Amino acid sequence: MIYARIVCKPFRIKNIPENYIENLCYEEVLGLGYHPETYKAKRRALLSGLPRIAIDAGFESMSDVETVRQSLRTGEQGDGKIFVIPIDRVIEF
């Protein structure tokens, strides 16, 4: 099993395939990134933060993670990041 923390733009969450929706837990976060094309944009992004959604999910394989990545990708800078951690076992309580 694979645990993934996905940080993406809020409007992209509706593009995730329906069969993965039931396993997701998400929260609203602020991303403190910057856009190198202009100084003003860089300063504004660092000071105010960019709205993002952080999604926590468990996946059976890397192909499932790749499917979700492709559904969230726009091809522009600032799409987001996926942090992947392998899990040996899960304990339910």
pLDDT at 51 (0 to 100): 86
- Residue 59 forms part of a structural domain: yes
Inform me whether the pLDDT recorded for 47 exceeds 80.
Answer: no
Inform me whether the pLDDT recorded for 22 exceeds 80.
Answer: no
pTM for the predicted model, two decimal places:
0.77
Query: How many Å apart are CA 24 and CA 18, to the nearest integer?
Result: 11
Structural domains of the chain, count = 1
Inform me whether the pLDDT recorded for 78 exceeds 80.
Answer: no
Determine the structural domain holding residue 52 and report its residue range: 2-86
- Residue 58 forms part of a structural domain: yes
Cα angle 25, 15, 47; round to 5? 70
- Residue 93 forms part of a structural domain: no
- Residue 91 forms part of a structural domain: no
Q: What is the CATH number of the domain that holds 66?
A: 3.30.70.120
Could you tell me the pLDDT band of residue 4, with boundaries at 50, 70 and 90? very high
